[in-house]
Amino acid sequence: MELQDVRRDYRKGTLTRDELLDNPIEQFKLWMQQALTTDLSDPTAMVLGTSARDGQVSQRVVLLKGLDERGFVFFTNYESRKSREIAVNSKVSLHFPWFAIERQVMIAGVAEKVSVDESRAYFQSRPRDSQLAAWASPQSRVVKSREVMTQQLDTLSKKYAESEIPLPEFWGGFRVRPSEIEFWQGGPNRLHDRFIYSLQPGGHWLVERLAP
């Protein structure tokens, strides 16, 4: 089959303005709760887009670990590529690709580091092996082999065998404060439903329908 012949129609729902809540964070929480009750794989996975100093854009999948009126939180190595690019340009995008339920959410905003206390609280909630992996992996850096990291993991496991694993200075969270949030619902005949919330002066949200 040719790629140009791969297609399907979208028939799982529609979206109207009357169905949307006035607050996009509350609307996102509603959609997330619905996604969590389906068989959707990794509903908290989101594609994070950042850009380098030369304008080159890069993307990767991170996991949503916190959400409130301030924004969307994820955690990472502060020396990783994504973190270095955020340091240059804090404007980022997030994308939740819930294809199985024919929905997407796209977010534009500014990323900022969360507090050390918030990072420590989440770090200590992680499985012990995940804590050790944060120390063992020089994220985004070139390594000679996987064995280099597994050996480092083994060394760290022995080092902290009888003690609490401390929060690495190079590891923590980012919060993306949204300025735009778009909700996309697949529709028949490619007439998808798209609504965008845009943050206005004074802190209220303008909601508009977009053509698909």
Residues annotated as catalytic are 190
Geometric angle at alpha carbon 32, from 187 and 192, rounded to 5°: 10
Question: Six-digit token pair at 22?
Answer: 């006035």
Burial of 76 (0-12, 13-18, 19+ CB in 10 A): buried
C-alpha closest to that of 120 among 71, 171, 158: 171
* C-alpha–C-alpha distance, residues 142 and 135, integer Å: 16
Query: For residues 181 and 107, is the Cβ–Cβ distance under 8 A?
Result: yes
Residues 6+ positions from 33 with CB-CB distance below 8 Å: none
